[in-house]
Structure 1
Amino acid sequence: MSGSAKVTCLECSAVNRVPVDRLTAGPKCGVCGAKLTDGKVRALDPKALDKATKSDDLPLLVDFWAPWCGPCRMMAPQFEQAARMLAPNARFAKIDTQDFPQVSQKFGIRGIPLLILFRGGKEVARLSGARPAQEIADFVRSHSAASAR
């Protein structure tokens, strides 16, 4: 990727253009000032999810989870670790399927935890079940390289 990348702020949903060579410099949202590629997992609502999955040039891995789900809670620290491992080249977010059941319907989710990788406005791949950080990172790397071709 050369030039600039579109990166949706996962705090305010503003779409930012960031020079690719500045992704490692800790770019901030031009609207709200939130960090865009800091390796933190952000909680999304359906509107922010929709905008980010359609607009972003960087890979976005979304964890579909619920607070009552034991495996989801168990995987949360691993998901956060994988987010730090892959920053700034990929971003991680989560959406609560209990609070937003329409998201489960929209994406045809039958079980959680479910990870869906998005890039360039498209769903690239899915990975179901609780996974360790290294496996999550390997999943993103393998599918991001394939989708960049």
Structure 2
Amino acid sequence: MNNEPHIAFEQVVLERSHQRPVIVLFGATWFSPCRVLTTTLESLHRERPTLFELVLVDTEHEFVLAERLGIRGIPRLQLFVDGVMTAELQGFRAAVDVREFLDLHLRGR
């Protein structure tokens, strides 16, 4: 998992997504739905650590990146595969919904 400040998006997300899928969660630490979704994703990542890489982007600190990528609302989850965003979820989702999203989009990996 990567949550370092001022991430180099192209290197951390796009390049690494050629090796394995990368899930990016855009959120804010002060916003309760983002904290809950972060906990859910971290738990799912611990269950299947080789299935995907998890990157957390705090939009309060990475506002330029969020604006450049068109992030208007949080939380927002985006899945990158082979350098391309292939799926996304907007808004808070229950753990079962996030698991279904992963199963649907990462099937066969």
* Counterpart Cα distance in 2 of 1:107 and 1:82: 25
Cα displacement (A) at 1:70 = 1.8
The structure whose Rg is larger is 1
With CA pairs under 8 Å and 6+ residues apart, which has the higher RCO, 1 or 2? 2
**What is the alpha-carbon distance in structure 1 between the residues aligned to residue 40 and residue 14 of structure 2?**
26
**Percent sequence identity over aligned pairs:** 27
Count of matched residue positions in the alignment of Structure 1 and Structure 2? 106
Deviation at 1:104, TM superposition (A): 1.2
Distance 1:96 1:114, change over 3 A: same
Distance in 1, Cα, partners of 2:13 & 2:102: 15
Question: Does the alignment pair 1:52 with 2:9?
Answer: no
State how far apart, in whole Å, the 1-side matches of 2:89 and 2:101 are. 8
Normalised to the residue count of structure 1, the TM-score between the two structures is: 0.63
Q: Aligned Cα RMSD in Å?
A: 1.9
Partner residue of 2:48? 86
1:71 corresponds in structure 2 to 33
What is residue 37 of structure 1 aligned with on the other side? none
Could you tell me the TM-score, scaled by structure 2's length? 0.83
Aligned counterparts of 1:131 and 1:125: Cα–Cα separation in 2: 15
More off after superposition, 108-117 vs 133-142: 133-142
The answer for unaligned runs of 5 or more in structure 2 is none
Q: 1:116 to 1:107 in 2, by over 3 A?
A: same
Residue deviations 1:91-132 (CA, integer Å, cap 9, x gap): 111011000101111211110010000011111111012223
Match of 2:2 in 1: 42
Return the letter of the residue paired with 1:69: F
- Which residue number in structure 2 is paired with residue 105 of structure 1? 67
